[in-house]
Amino acid sequence: MSKRRVDLSVPILARVEGEGALDLIIQDGNIETLRLRIYEPPRFFEKFLEGRHVSEVPDMVARICGICPVAYQVSAVNAFESLFSVEPDPWVQQMRRLLYCGEWIESHALHVHMLALPDFLGYASGIAMAKDYPDQVRRGLKLQSLGNEIMRLLGGRSVHPIGVKIGGFHRAPDRLSISKLLAKLEAALPEAEAMLAWLNQLPVTGPAQTFTSVALVYPEGAIEQGVLHSTQGHRLLAEQFTEHVEEFQSPYSTALWSHLDQQPYLVGPLARLNLIKQHGEGSDYLLDMLSRNPRFPSQTLFDSMLARGIEICFALHESIQILKRYCQPCSPSVAWKVVPGTGYGWSEAPRGLLWHQYEVDEQGHITFARIVPPTSQNQARIEQDLHESLLAFGLDQTDEALQKHCEQVIRNYDPCISCATHFLTLNIKRR
């Protein structure tokens, strides 16, 4: 047994959204302390929403995240429309799904090519990787750009879009814009499928772990709606979320942690594909891709990158099908009236399940808001993963190797610490 004690401090973890730290104490060859410590100041968005009118909320919650604003908007309008008994027409439902596909493509392409792949291929950054893989990086950035273009079509802009409102959209795109975008997406789908084939042959491996996958399930593939399922047999509606999910304050994190029935759980692309494979519910295109890939369902967390590649192809294919069916609507939205009470909504953000709860008074003002983002749901699982993967990796590795491994494990989750509120200073002590 090693008697070595190591104190290691890494001031900032690069290539993650937000600020946090990891404290690791190794004593006599055992992990004595492992803390995923998020210290970014609280952002108080839920408190800011109190007193504001429901019509303001979609634009306000879009400001929570620059990468996945659509997820916040859609979860919010789902909550209000559920409370107000508003049934968006098929055009609105299809356009929300299209907008959301744009966000999946943009977010996943960015993470795969600029954040995760450099770890797996041994580069310090996406820019350094581009010297040896110029065509692959260029292709990834092109896909990301197309995702942004979809978001601009319906949201007015790709960052903090402003097109979504309760009942639908502020405006409908014209046919010429639809035709131009459709041609670009059809040309890009073979490139995305080539990207997926490339990712599939990369030597990305890791130890299998035992964890619970949690995600929405929907017949066409859950994106903007669905019913919560878990690999432990849960089947929940949005209003039942807090009956099984408990948020709690960690003494070393400014972000709330979440447990499902007192246990850590996984949300995000890998969880989604595991549940699609388990239930057999999804689009024919998605099910066909999964049927041809023996790695799913997967208990290997590093398969998350491949899952993102599959979801990029799925979102592109789905976008093309929606655009082919596009018809100019008489109106881009449906009417609604305020109904006081409590509304619940959720959707599948690129990083995983995003749940909202709002209490609304008779004038339509918010009296209470609660938002549970994907990263806070994954925090306990990340810490559990770090513990298990470090033991498999070997605690007698050098401090530099331990640091790289920890950062790779954390980045693999694509954590959005700012959303959660809130990443990485690594402090390692060996005793």
pLDDT of residue 17: 57
The verdict on whether residue 65 carries a ligand-binding annotation is yes
Q: Tell whether 406 is in a known binding site.
A: no
Beta pairing, strands 20-27 & 425-430: parallel
What pLDDT sits at residue 367?
98
Is 68 annotated to bind ligand? yes
CB 169 within 8 A of CB 332: yes
Q: What is the reported pLDDT for 425?
A: 56
Q: Say how many C-beta atoms besides its own lie within 10 A of residue 207's C-beta.
A: 14
**pLDDT for residue 66:** 84
Domains and CATH numbers, the chain: 45-419 (1.10.645.10)
Nearest CA to 149 among 113, 183, 197? 183
Q: Would the annotation count 422 as a binding residue?
A: yes
The CA distances from residue 128 to 13, 118, 121, 356, 416, in Å, are 17, 8, 11, 39, 23
Q: Is 416 assigned a ligand-binding role in the annotation? A: yes
Taking alpha carbons only, the member of 288, 284, 266 closest to residue 275 is 266
Q: Render each residue's pLDDT in the chain as its tens digit; 431 residues.
A: 456 665 554 444 444 456 678 888 898 889 998 988 877 667 788 889 999 999 999 999 999 888 899 999 999 999 999 999 999 999 999 999 999 999 999 999 999 999 899 999 999 888 999 999 999 999 999 999 999 999 999 999 988 999 999 999 999 999 999 999 999 999 999 999 999 999 999 988 888 999 999 999 999 999 999 999 999 999 999 999 999 999 988 888 777 889 999 999 999 999 999 999 999 988 999 999 999 999 999 999 999 999 999 999 999 999 999 999 999 999 999 999 999 999 999 999 999 999 999 999 999 999 999 999 998 899 999 999 999 999 999 999 998 899 889 889 988 988 775 554 434 556 667 76
Predicted pLDDT at 29: 86
Treating both helix axes as pointing N-terminal to C-terminal, what angle do 90-110 and 134-155 enclose, rounded to 10 degrees? 150
Q: At CA 33, angle to CA 31 and CA 37, rounded to 5?
A: 130
pLDDT of residue 407: 86
Q: Which residue has the tokens 């959301």?
A: 100
Exposed/middle/buried for 400, CB within 10 Å: 0-12, 13-18, 19+? exposed
Q: Exposure of 52 by Cβ count < 10 A (0-12 exposed, 13-18 middle, 19+ buried)?
A: middle
Burial of 182 (0-12, 13-18, 19+ CB in 10 A): middle
